[in-house]
């Protein structure tokens, strides 16, 4: 059986087209032009090697956060005043016919930090791909990570891409774009690369992770992906279907979705 871990922690440290591009947490608001915000403009959505933001030189910094605490451990909060209050580490397998529940194809880490003064929480998402192959012999590739539970709430987003490669897994993959949408747009090759309808309840992160990518540019793990929103209390709910991992077929793979439980603000619904 796949492993699921839940930890309660109480005292820890606290391409730019006509889209919005700014460093740090970016507000996601309704837009007639696009539901998406452009983040890392390097890497051609995973077809080439992406470059980590250079905060010192202010290069490629859209949506990016960094700090000495994050460089020490991504389990530290990305903003001051937030303390970790929960974390789930979950082994993930695509269901049949693509996969099976006897192997771990990826590890999903779902983390929440809370600020008791501002009544805000930050949800962190990280995925590490593993070696098992799908039933048809290909490695599982994840292009989009979608999280729900934010209907009627303010949402801002950011990511931390460690510029130093991990000794075991190498560099993380960049966050290419993010949108308040339930729709994942395949990359590349569409006339409008950023067309997606706005959806108040969901946030879609576009990245490109694979244990052995057929396009020759392999990144086995995501950056740490953040959603900041309002939370009345520090205790989150866990809801079935709150996280969707999507293969959009960027390299000709079969498109499919894996639906998982995920942390949401207390009392939130999946609209």
Percent of the chain clearing pLDDT 70 (strictly above): 89
Query: In terms of C-beta density within 10 A (0-12 exposed, 13-18 middle, 19 or more buried), how is residue 254 classed?
Result: exposed
pLDDT digits (tens, 9 = 90+) for 118-156: 999 999 999 999 999 999 899 999 999 999 999 999 999
Pair of tokens at residue 68: 């000495």
pLDDT band at 194 (very low <50, low <70, confident <90, very high): low
Handedness of CA 105, 238, 126, 184 (dihedral sign): positive
Give the integer Cα–Cα distance in Å for 222 and 174.
Answer: 7
b/e map of 68-96 (b: 16 or more CB within 10 Å)? eebeeebbbbbbeebbbbbbbbbbbbbee
Per-residue pLDDT, averaged over 204-214, amounts to 95
pTM confidence score: 0.90
Q: Determine the pLDDT at residue 101.
A: 81
């Amino acid at each position: 059986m796949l492993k699921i871990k839940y930890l309660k922690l109480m005292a820890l440290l606290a391409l730019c087209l006509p889209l919005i591009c700014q460093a740090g947490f970016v507000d996601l608001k309704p837009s007639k032009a696009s539901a998406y915000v452009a983040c890392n403009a390097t890497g051609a959505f995973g077809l080439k090697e992406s470059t980590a933001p250079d905060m010192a030189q202010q290069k490629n910094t859209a949506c990016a956060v960094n700090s000495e605490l994050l460089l020490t451990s991504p389990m530290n909060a990305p903003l001051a005043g937030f303390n970790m209050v929960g974390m789930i580490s979950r082994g993930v397998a695509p269901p049949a016919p693509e996969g099976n529940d006897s192997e771990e194809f990826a590890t999903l880490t779902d983390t929440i930090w809370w600020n008791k003064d501002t009544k805000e929480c930050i949800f962190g998402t990280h995925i590490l791909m593993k070696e098992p192959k799908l039933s048809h012999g290909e490695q599982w590739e994840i292009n989009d990570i979608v999280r729900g539970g934010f209907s009627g709430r303010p949402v801002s987003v950011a990511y931390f891409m460690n510029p130093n490669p991990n000794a075991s897994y190498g560099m993380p993959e960049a966050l290419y774009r993010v949108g308040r949408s339930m729709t994942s747009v395949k990359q590349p090759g569409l006339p409008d690369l950023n067309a997606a309808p706005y959806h108040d309840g969901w946030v879609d992160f576009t990245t490109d992770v694979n244990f052995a990518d057929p396009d020759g540019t392999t990144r086995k793990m995501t950056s740490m992906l953040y959603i900041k929103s309002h939370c009345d209390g520090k205790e989150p709910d866990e809801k079935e279907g709150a996280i969707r991992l999507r293969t959009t077929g960027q390299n000709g793979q079969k498109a499919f979705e894996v639906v998982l439980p995920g942390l949401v603000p207390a009392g939130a619904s999946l609209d």
